[in-house]
Chain A
Amino acid sequence: MPIIATQGLTMRFPGVTALDALTVQVEPGVVGLVGANGAGKSTLIKILLGLLPPTGGAAAVLGLDIAGDGGRIREQVGYMPEHECLPPDMPATEFVVHMARMSGLPATAARERAADTLRHVGLYEERYRPIGGYSTGMRQRVKLAQALVHDPKLVFLDEPTNGLDPAGRDEMLALIRRIGTEFGISVLVTSHLLGELERICDHVVIIDGGRLLRSQAVASFTEASGVLVVEVDEGAEKLGVRLTQAGARVRPEGRFLLVDIAGERTFDAIRDGVAELDLCLIRMEQRRHHIEEVFAAGGPEL
């Protein structure tokens, strides 16, 4: 069963069309929703949560219709908004307990779940202090914890890496991956950065101007490209000339040589070339596509 299915979903605000007849289906797993700022990502999430009624089309979340079963959908999903949404004068633990109760968890269960969830997102002793004193990274973790505390089947994470430094970004991405795999909760995560979603998602949906650009498994975006990346310590030029003479197609790229693979011979030629020129081989790997390249080459070729 698809976790999300939309059919001609349209959202028009006065003067702006946020979603334009969007039809897409996604299966359980970690799904990335990518698009530039203003592409309609947040609007889509709000419609799926039932916060906004769409102006046209239909959608189902976890097999439930957003128009008729909004209440039942909201019992089974979690939502981490893009913007700040935390009261600064409450400790994280009180706040997350309160949010658990708002999802109907009895008091004792709410306390236990809040403690567990805060531990899972990596908040320990600081959870007893008011949120007002937290760093951006800690706030993002509290936002994530409140989305998970009632053990939803699906979480919507809107720009969870926003405002994080590179280390915090990596930790957040790893955490999201764990939610999808270890916790077994489906994730719809948005970002305007394709690169970071490629690392953690099973499937990526790209929207632009409210229209579907692509919806594809990440594996098919990033399949092997047929190009070898070769890096040697010194003498890359000599090796290049040598390989060209051996009949390989070679082009330099920075410190690397990119060699088109023409079967086993290519690998042998590189090995022999390096050995004969007495070079120090640092790396030889098959290059993978990045989804960004696909996006840049772009065009809605579905």
Chain B
Amino acid sequence: MTSTIHDIGYRHYDGQRLGRAYVLRSLFTHNLRAAYGLGRPAKAKVMPFLLFAAMLLPAVGSVAALALTKEPRALIRYSAYAVYLQPLIAIFLATQAPVVASRELRFHVVPLYFSRPVGRFDYVLAKFGALATALFILLATPVTLLYAGALATREPKKPTLGGPPPPKLPSVGQHTAHYLEGLAGCVLFALVLAALGLVIAAFTPRRGFGVAGVIAVYLVSFTVVGIVQGIAESQSRYALEGWAGAFTPFYLVDGVQVRLLGAQAATPQPPPTPYGGPVFLAICLALIVAAVGILYARFRKAGVS
């Protein structure tokens, strides 16, 4: 009996067709991978991974310093990490938001989704969730590294001869509490930044403009708020200084961290109590909801042409 390889021709597919949850999950994974350049040429991986590595460096340094000196202040505060490193995070947002938001607009891929059983709202939700998750990974990994470093570092058993008694390191319980607060802050940072980044990128189909747009919004808001806060501080108007923080994303979220999550301020002036915290949180949520609404309208229109 001879066997031959032959073209068996077209075969129909009688297998499973999964529903909405599966499609949503696949779309989320696809966009999350895209945000880190996975499944794309090497060129697309350079920027996100470079920034990811750069985000880890200060945490590594901080843990090393803690291990050597046993000085608790050597460890960067979890909640302050994102604020200190905001330029790096802003660059990540600027380069990767267009990958998620505007690439499929620019190359007219959107109608291919909406001619399939992909809901328009699901499509936007998957993109938003994916970029927020990408940012959360970027922010939470170094914070987790700090936490692991803190747990691994224990107080020396005995004080060094003749030296001053070593400073007391916070307990595991304290660390864990602060770490969880820090993570909650990372979630809010990720959501707010994803909202801003996606909306700006969705209206600048050319990638270069998208990058420039996100950076411009970040720099301008940061600078203007800095100037306003400087003037307010010189006139001792601290409440105004605190409220002004709402107009730049990192100060906005830090305001919530300080007033509602019990963090120590990493910004010049947190919003005044008692309304500052709830108002800043409300602004964050409004930004997120508005962004999803705007993106929905934007992609719905793009799905037709």
Instruction: Tell me the chain A residues, 58-80 only, with Cβ under 8 Å from chain B.
Output: 71, 74-75, 77, 79
Knowing A94-B39, A105-B17, the reply to whether A89 touches B44 (Cβ < 8 A) is yes
State the CA gap A87–B117 with chains docked (Å).
20
State the CA gap A103–B111 with chains docked (Å).
13
Cβ distance A95 to chain B, nearest Cβ, rounded Å: 9
Number of A residues with CB within 8 Å of any CB on chain B: 38
| Interface-facing stretch out of A2-10, A44-52, A239-247, A291-299 | A44-52
Q: Which residues of A contact B12 (CB under 8 A)?
A: 151, 184
State the CA gap A81–B17 with chains docked (Å).
23
* In the assembled complex, A224 has its CB within 8 A of some CB on chain B: no
* In the assembled complex, A113 has its CB within 8 A of some CB on chain B: yes
* In the assembled complex, B157 has its CB within 8 A of some CB on chain A: no
Asked if A113 and B109 make an inter-chain contact with CB atoms under 8 angstroms apart, the answer reads no
Cβ distance A250 to chain B, nearest Cβ, rounded Å: 49
* In the assembled complex, A125 has its CB within 8 A of some CB on chain B: no
Q: Which residues of B contact A130 (CB under 8 A)?
A: 41
Which of A74, A87, A104, A116 has a CB less than 8 Å from the CB of B104? A87
Which of B13, B107, B115 has a CB less than 8 Å from the CB of A87? B107
* In the assembled complex, A98 has its CB within 8 A of some CB on chain B: yes
Q: Indicate the size class of the contact surface on chain B.
A: 20 to 34
* In the assembled complex, B83 has its CB within 8 A of some CB on chain A: no
| Interface-facing stretch out of B19-27, B87-95, B241-249 | B19-27
* In the assembled complex, B113 has its CB within 8 A of some CB on chain A: yes
Q: Which residues of B contact A104 (CB under 8 A)?
A: 16-19, 22-23, 117
User: Chain B interface (Cβ within 8 Å of chain A)?
Assistant: 9-13, 15-19, 22-23, 26-27, 30, 39-41, 44, 103-104, 107-109, 111-118, 303-304
Task: Provide 26 A-B residue pairs closer than 8 Å at the C-beta atoms, listed in order of the A residue.
Answer: A46-B304, A51-B304, A75-B116, A84-B107, A84-B108, A87-B103, A87-B109, A89-B40, A89-B44, A101-B26, A101-B30, A102-B27, A102-B112, A103-B17, A103-B116, A103-B117, A104-B23, A106-B15, A106-B22, A116-B11, A130-B41, A151-B13, A182-B9, A182-B10, A184-B10, A184-B12
